[in-house]
Amino acid sequence: MDKKIVYFLCTGNSCRSQMADGFLKAYGGDKYEVKSAGLEAHGLNPRAVATMQEAGIDISTHTSDVIDPETLSQADYIITLCGHANDNCPVVRNDKAERWHWGFDDPAKATGTIEEVTAKFGEVRDAIKSRIQQFVKEGK
C-alpha cells in the first residue's frame, strides 16, 4: 500500500508545522508519508522541541525547510496551519491534492512571563495533537 503524502505548511516551518509533522509521524506514520515546510525557513524553534518532548515526541532532528515544488505537486493533502501560509501558498498544480486550512495561533508570538509563553506553546501543541488524532481516526 502506498502511503498518502501529507504536506504541512506554515510561514517559517519552525513551530506549528513541525508539531503537526511530529504528531502525524507518531500517530499515522504507518499510513502517511509526512513532510513539512514553510514559505521561509526560520529554523526549528527550541520551545517547540521542548514542548513536543513533554508530549513524548522528539522533533529535535527535524529541519526547517522551504516549500519544495516537487513535494507540493505530489502531495495528497496540503494542510496550512497559519493564515499567512494559507494566503500565500504557491499555486498548486496538483489535481489530486486536497487542500485544507487548520488555523492555529503562533506560539512563537506569545508574550508574557516564561510560564505564560510556555503555556501558550502547550495550548497550541495540544490543539494540533487533537486535530491530528481526528485526522488519523477519520482515515483520510
In tens, the pLDDT along 79-125 reads 989 776 666 665 556 668 888 889 898 999 999 999 999 999 999 99
For the entire predicted model, the pTM comes to 0.90
- Taking the CA atoms of residue 60, residue 71, residue 33 and residue 121 in that order, the dihedral angle to the nearest 10 degrees is 40
Per-residue burial over 85-122, b if 16 or more Cβ lie within 10 Å, else e, is bbeebeeeeeeebeeeebebebbbebeeeeeebbebbe
Catalytic status, residue 10: yes
Q: Which of 89, 92, 110, 119 is catalytic?
A: 89
Q: Which of 34, 67, 82, 132 is catalytic?
A: 82
Domain boundaries, the chain: 4-138
Question: Which amino acid, one-letter code, is at 76?
Answer: D
Catalytic status, residue 15: no
Superfamily name with CATH number, domain 4-138: Response regulator (3.40.50.2300)
Q: Which of 6, 9, 10, 20 is catalytic?
A: 10
